[in-house]
Amino acid sequence: MHEIVFYLAFVWMTVLLVVSAAAVIRLRSTAARILALDMLTLILAALLVLYADATRSSYYMDAALILSLLAFMATLILGRYYGERKIF
Amino acid sequence: MASAFASAIPYVADALVILGVFVMTVGVYGAIRMPDTYTKLHAMSKAVFLGVVSLCASSAVTGDPAIIYRAILIGVFLLVTTPISSFVIARAAFLRGERMETADACDESGRGLTRGKE
């Protein structure tokens, strides 16, 4: 029963990943696109956390941590560059 | 008592996974449903962050100490960085003058970013 829950969670998170990738492509406003890119990377990190939970291996948690860190840096740099045309 | 609690742990993990997936679904639905950037920020940043934290709690319930420490680290890191990235995106949208599309939006900066009156 627990495996069924994890399989359904994997499938549904993949659907959410596809929907947020379509949102990155299809949204008109650039700030909303940056926001959707942040959301897409966080969903990828959540998939890695779910996979680490399903296989009981802690290496994927490291990957999820680094991915959320990179998502934060990318959002910061893209937002500052879009907002005021400079990063620092 | 301890064995009953140990046998209930997988169900707690399943409930946390279902909760996290539901909360992230709400966040993604808000991303494609809300009309402008400022209201998209309400839905996406908070909901997706809470979904990731719920999934981290699910893996911390069942896992060994290596997974627990990393789950706590991910949760604390997201708790620190999510308001900053939301603030940066809202500031970028405001500086570039993106309009507020909701019906009774109120722009108190005097730049007239609302769509309706004035």
Host domain of residue A44: 2-84
Q: What number of C-beta contacts closer than 8 Å exist between A and B?
A: 155
pLDDT digits (tens, 9 = 90+) for B40-81: 998 888 899 999 999 999 988 876 888 899 999 999 999 999
Question: Quick one: three-class SS letters along chain B?
Answer: CHHHHHHHHHHHHHHHHHHHHHHHHHHHHHHHHCCCHHHHHHHHHHHHHHHHHHHHHHHHHHCCHHHHHHHHHHHHHHHHHHHHHHHHHHHHHHHCCCCECCCCCCCCCCCCCECCCC
- Count: domains in chain B: 1
Q: What is the pLDDT, as a whole number, of residue A1?
A: 73
Host domain of residue B6: 2-95
Residues of chain A whose beta carbon is less than 8 angstroms from a beta carbon of chain B are 1-2, 5-6, 9, 12-13, 16, 19-20, 23, 29-32, 34-36, 38-39, 42-43, 45-46, 49-50, 52-53, 56, 58, 61-62, 64-65, 68-69, 71-72, 75-76, 79-80, 82-84
Task: Evaluate whether residue B68 is within a structural domain.
Answer: yes
Q: Which of A11, A58, A76 to mutate against chain B (most B CBs within 10 Å)?
A: A58
Task: Evaluate whether residue B117 is within a structural domain.
Answer: no
Contacts made by residues A74-81, CB under 8 angstroms, sequence distance 24+ = A74/A37, A74/A38, A74/A41, A75/A34, A75/A35, A75/A37, A75/A38, A75/B85, A75/B88, A75/B89, A76/B84, A76/B85, A76/B88, A78/A34, A78/A37, A79/A31, A79/A34, A79/B85, A79/B88, A79/B89, A79/B91, A79/B92, A80/B88, A80/B92
Share of chain A above pLDDT 70, in %: 100
- Count: domains in chain A: 1
Reported as a pLDDT band with limits 50, 70 and 90, residue B118 is very low
Task: Evaluate whether residue B106 is within a structural domain.
Answer: no
pTM confidence score: 0.89
Task: Evaluate whether residue B29 is within a structural domain.
Answer: yes
Residues of A in contact with B36 (CB under 8 A): 29, 32
Task: Evaluate whether residue B6 is within a structural domain.
Answer: yes
Reported as a pLDDT band with limits 50, 70 and 90, residue B82 is very high
Task: Evaluate whether residue B53 is within a structural domain.
Answer: yes
pLDDT digits (tens, 9 = 90+) for A24-60: 999 888 999 999 999 999 999 999 999 988 888 888 9
Q: Over chain B, what is the mean pLDDT?
A: 86
Task: Evaluate whether residue B15 is within a structural domain.
Answer: yes
Task: Evaluate whether residue B57 is within a structural domain.
Answer: yes
pLDDT digits (tens, 9 = 90+) for B91-110: 999 888 888 888 777 777 77
